Structure 1
Amino acid sequence: MERCSHASAIINGDSTSPTLVVIGGRDKKNQLVNECLLFDSITTGQYSCRKIPLPESVTGRYSHSLTAVTMSPNCVWLVIVGGCKEFEWKDVGGGKEEPMVTFITDTNRLIMIIELVYSEAGEWIVQSVLDGNDLTSKNYQEKYQSYSKTRTWWMDQQIEYPTEREMKLQRYIQSLHQDLQVAHESKVSLQEALVEANKQVKGDDSNDIMSSVLEEMRQEQEKLIKEKQIITG
């Protein structure tokens, strides 16, 4: 299980808990880890781990990238890109060694897609593995277009668009927020002005004026707050 420079992604299905997929990497001896692991039910704390058989052209790499694209409720495409295929220490003289890496440049391996489907047995299985040649074929283009239409429809079902009434309520609530903000700012400004005026006016009249104005502002704010509670309640 010890590894580094691997790639991982989360698979989210329509009727499954999140699953973590891990591909490739290097072990503590800097050897390639040619395997793909699936960790089921990772959010429950009682996950299980199993290996998924994949060709070495997919798993035999490190420092690569991996992303999971949900094509339908029960189909996920794992897109794996780039990486390195070898790691070794080279003697550069003077008793020194430097790490030497070999990047993947083969166009057939540079970008690959693993098609996973959720089976009736309740587990993810490999449906197909597509390399560079497959990605330029007519069959792939037709498959992608078919999945793309399904994915667009499925994603639209996940979005809850607001109704016209909900949009009107939202706009009205925003308007109330603005009115409350203006009322608050006006109250603060008025308080400052009254305090300044109070310094210049002597007698009990100044206190009466301030109390009267502040009471009017308080009533106005309470009115706006009640309107908001009625709308949102």
Structure 2
Amino acid sequence: MDRCRHASAIINGDSTSPTLVVIGGTRRNELVTECLLFDSITTGQYSCRKIPLPESVTGRYSHSLTAVTMSPHCVWLVIVGGDEEIRWKDVGGGKEVARSIPITDTNRLIMIIELVYSEAGEWIVQSVLDGNYLTSKNYQEKYQSYSKTRTWWMDQLIEYPTEREMKLQRYIQSLHEDLQVAHESKVSLQEALVDANKQVKGDDSNDFISSVLEEMRQEQEKLNQIITG
């Protein structure tokens, strides 16, 4: 299974464990024209199997691949670009360098593999869509149908807050604001205490200022209880 310059993606559906898909690549400067599926990759007990795909899909390397979940039981693998051939060029001195030949066939530049999750509990290929099909009316109708299903399905996954939860969020926000005000008041009170202490320093007979300081200290204790309580 050693290879390089391949493309991979994770697919997942409703009630299925994540599956890794690997398409194409090279091995010792030769194309690897196969597609592998690694099931249950998060359990440590994964299995690997090949799925049949035409060489127009797998016969490439240095390409990109992404998985788009269209429904809980359908995934589209979108494969784009890449190189299709390795040619060797003589550069003199008995040396050759590998040269990559990019895919230029418009039917192969962008392709879609439609996978569906079967009743047997495995992903299988439903269809392979090439560039010609992607510009057809049939594709537009197929996409619109899936798009509506996908929008509905994604909406079911979103948990909108209830009225009670929204009220609780507003109450928590209000508490945060009160605590912020209390914190700012505490800072101002501390500054006032410092100034007052400077004024009465060395004059213990000033009962009036001492009583004011005592009241300010009590207010500070109340604020501390609000902040820490």
Structure-2-length-normalised TM-score: 0.90
Moved over 6 A (4+): none
Equivalent residue number for residue 161 of structure 1? 160
Residue 193 of structure 1: how far off its partner (Å): 3.3
Q: Mark the CA change 1:222 to 1:136 in structure 2 (over 3 Å): closer, same or farther.
A: same
Q: Distance in 1 between matches of 2:212 and 2:92?
A: 92
The correspondence of residues 31-110 of structure 1 with structure 2, limited to 5 A, is 31-110=30-109
Q: Secondary structure at the match of 2:26?
A: coil
The 2-side partners of 1:211 and 1:141 are apart by: 79
Q: Which moved more, 1:216-225 or 1:143-152?
A: 216-225
Change (3 A) 1:52 1:180: same
Deviation at 1:208, TM superposition (A): 5.8
User: What do the CA deviations read for 1:1-50 (whole angstroms, capped 9, x no partner)?
Assistant: 111111111111011011111111111x1111111111111111111111
The reply to whether residue 6 of structure 1 matches residue 26 of structure 2 is: no
Cα–Cα, structure 1 residues 208 and 129, in superposed 2: closer, same or farther, change >3 Å? farther
- Report the CA distance between 1:65 and its aligned residue: 0.6
Partner of 1:219: 222
Larger radius of gyration: 2
**Contact 1:32 1:62 (C-alpha < 8 Å) held by counterparts:** yes
Provide the C-alpha distance between the structure 2 equivalents of 1:225 and 1:171, rounded to a whole number of angstroms: 21
Q: 2 CA distance for matches of 1:211 and 1:19?
A: 69
Mapped to 2, the partners of 1:221 and 1:164 lie a distance apart of: 33
Amino acid at match of 2:82: G
**1:18 matched to 2:21:** no
Contact kept in structure 1, 2:183 and 2:227, CA below 8 Å: no
Using the TM superposition, give the Cα deviation of residue 212 of structure 1 relative to its aligned residue in structure 2, in angstroms: 3.6
Q: Which residue of 2 aligns with 1:118?
A: 117
Are the aligned partners of 2:37 and 2:50 in contact in 1 as well (CA < 8 Å)? yes
Bigger mean CA offset, 156-165 vs 181-190:
181-190
Alignment-mate amino acid for residue 21 of structure 2 = V
Q: 2:189–2:220: 8 Å Cα contact kept in structure 1?
A: no
Q: Does residue 150 in structure 1 map to residue 142 in structure 2?
A: no
Question: Which is further off, 65-74 or 208-217?
Answer: 208-217
Q: Please list every run of 5 or more consecutive structure 2 residues that lacks an aligned counterpart in the other structure.
A: none
Over the matched positions of the two proteins, sequence identity in percent amounts to: 81
In the aligned structure 1, how far is the partner of 2:174 from the partner of 2:77? 46
Matched, 1:184 2:183: yes
Report Cα offsets for 1:158-192 as digits up to 9, x if no partner.
Answer: 00011233223212211211221232233123213
Q: How many residues of Structure 1 are paired with residues of Structure 2 in the alignment?
A: 225
CA RMSD of aligned residues (A): 2.0
| Aligned 8 A contact 1:176 1:224 in 2 | no
Cα gap change, 1:200 to 1:23, in 2 (>3 Å) = same
Please state whether the residue corresponding to 2:16 is helix, strand or coil: coil
